[in-house]
Amino acid sequence: MQADCDAARAELKEAAKWAEEITREMDAMRGERDSLRAMVEKQNAPGERAETTYLNIIGAMLTLMLGKTPTGEPQSIFDNQSVIIAALLEHFDKKPGISARTLEDKFAAAKRSLTAT
């Protein structure tokens, strides 16, 4: 009986050592995963300068699309921003980021960006 108990204790000690080693490896992998995730997120997000550039381009295109020529003729078929958003939704509704709310927010940010620079 004592021999069985000693064998069980030895097995338990080995199992505890194994569990500790596995836990250390898992912690190291979690740290590596978090580091890789941060790197990917950093690469996917445009920098401040790129974001400003994109907003300025969007704002300029909106201004042109809603503007008039020197003779007073409309430069495009779009009467207002709502019509532009409706057309974008009609043509690109399955694309990520193309939603009425997102377009309204980006258009507003684009107008602010143009007036700020």
Q: Tell me, what's the pLDDT at 111? A: 95
Q: Residue 109 above 70 pLDDT?
A: yes
Same domain for 32 and 63, yes or no, is no
Instruction: Tell me: do 36 and 92 sit in the same domain.
Output: no
CB 62 within 8 A of CB 84: yes
Residues 38 and 54 in one domain: no
27 lies in the same domain as 75 = no
Number of helices (H) and strands (E) in the chain: give both, helices first.
Answer: 4, 0
Instruction: Read off the amino acid at residue 111.
Output: K
pLDDT of residue 117: 60
Residue 68, strand partner residues = 74
Tens digit of pLDDT for each residue in 41-73?
878 777 889 999 999 999 999 999 999 999 999
Same domain, 1 and 36: yes
Q: How far apart are CA 56 and CA 24, in angstroms?
A: 49
Alpha carbon distance, N-terminus to C-terminus of the chain: 85
Q: Which domain holds residue 93?
A: 48-116
State the pTM of this model.
0.60
What domain count does the chain have? 2
Residues 25, 12 share a domain: yes
pLDDT band of residue 107 (cuts 50, 70, 90) is very high
- The residue type found at 15 is A
Q: Are residues 21 and 61 in the same domain?
A: no
